Amino acid sequence: MSTHINAPEGAIADRVLLPGDPLRAKFIAENFLEDAKCYNEVRGMYGFTGTYKGKKVSVQGTGMGQPSLSIYVTELFKFYNVQKAIRVGTCGSISEDLKLREVLLANGACTDSSLQSQRFGLLHFAPVPSFNLLYTAYNRAKEIGMKAKVAPCVSSDFFYDINENWKLWKKYGAAGIEMESAELYTLAAQYGREALSILTASDSILDGTATTAEERQTTFKEMMMLALDTIVAE
Ligand code: HPA
């Protein structure tokens, strides 16, 4: 048991998928895992454990934004010995080369978050994913004919942007904006674990277009298969 996760020892797998939305965690458990059991309901931040292709997998909601994700992922790494964590989320596209519904495998995460400056002060850390998970996900996407772009994302503390900082990061190659990956990658580095963010472009910051609810559902399913196949590999 930890402060925000009410699970007994052994109830959480060492491989965990991380959607922001706890209802997504429930949906994933009910539709993609076998024999899924809920291990956490504290604050409605559901966590489930089941099996996928015979391997034990958990799925834990993280909430929105880096401070919220930081709480859940720290507890998963520190108290539940989680080894592999894959965020499954959405992003706003900031690249002409990342179309709506396409998948971004974030090979780095730029951030405006003070979590980084509180940790590193004037030094700058490079939040990057596990090469192993990235390599596995990229190859799996190729195998199943799914277009997956590999580029950095921006993890902003703002959803309703007040400053358009993303425009600078776009110039340096960032392709999507979301709110969590930099902290996930930094915690994985801190605890010596593996992490990756798989993001589908749900809307375009460039032209204001957005996916429909039905499109999001289809894309979401494809992304889930990719994330699950990646997390159970090896
Ligand atoms: N900003 C932050 N997170 C997001 C966005 C966005 O525009 N779109 C989807 N997730």
- Tens of pLDDT, residue by residue over 125-161, are 999 999 999 999 999 999 999 999 999 999 999 999 7
Q: Known catalytic residues?
A: 203
Say if residue 5's pLDDT is above 90.
yes
Q: At what angle do helices 181-191 and 66-79 cross, to 10 degrees?
A: 20
Run of H or E residues at 194: strand 194-204
> Which among 103, 165, 179 is the best mutation to test ligand 1's pocket, defined by most ligand atoms within 8 Å of the CB?
179
Instruction: State percent of the chain over pLDDT 90.
Output: 93
Phi, psi of 184, deg, nearest 5: -60, -45
pLDDT band per the 50, 70, 90 thresholds, residue 163: confident
The label of the residue with tokens 């949906």 reads 27
Residues 25-83 have pLDDT tens digits of 999 999 999 999 999 999 999 999 999 999 999 999 999 999 999 999 999 999 999 99
Q: Where are the domains of the chain?
A: 15-232
Q: CB–CB of 57/51 below 8 Å?
A: yes
The secondary structure of 54-89 as a DSSP string is: TEEEEEE---SSHHHHHHHHHHHHHHS---EEEEEE
pLDDT band per the 50, 70, 90 thresholds, residue 220: confident
**205 in ligand 1 pocket by Cβ < 6 Å?**
yes
> For 95, which DSSP code?
S
The label of the residue with tokens 């010596």 reads 192
The β-bridge partners of 4 are none
**172 in ligand 1 pocket by Cβ < 6 Å?**
no
Give distance in angstroms: CA of 161 to centre of ligand 1: 10
Please state which CATH number belongs to domain 15-232: 3.40.50.1580
0.75 surpassed by pTM: yes
Q: How much is the pLDDT for 213?
A: 83
**202 in ligand 1 pocket by Cβ < 6 Å?**
yes
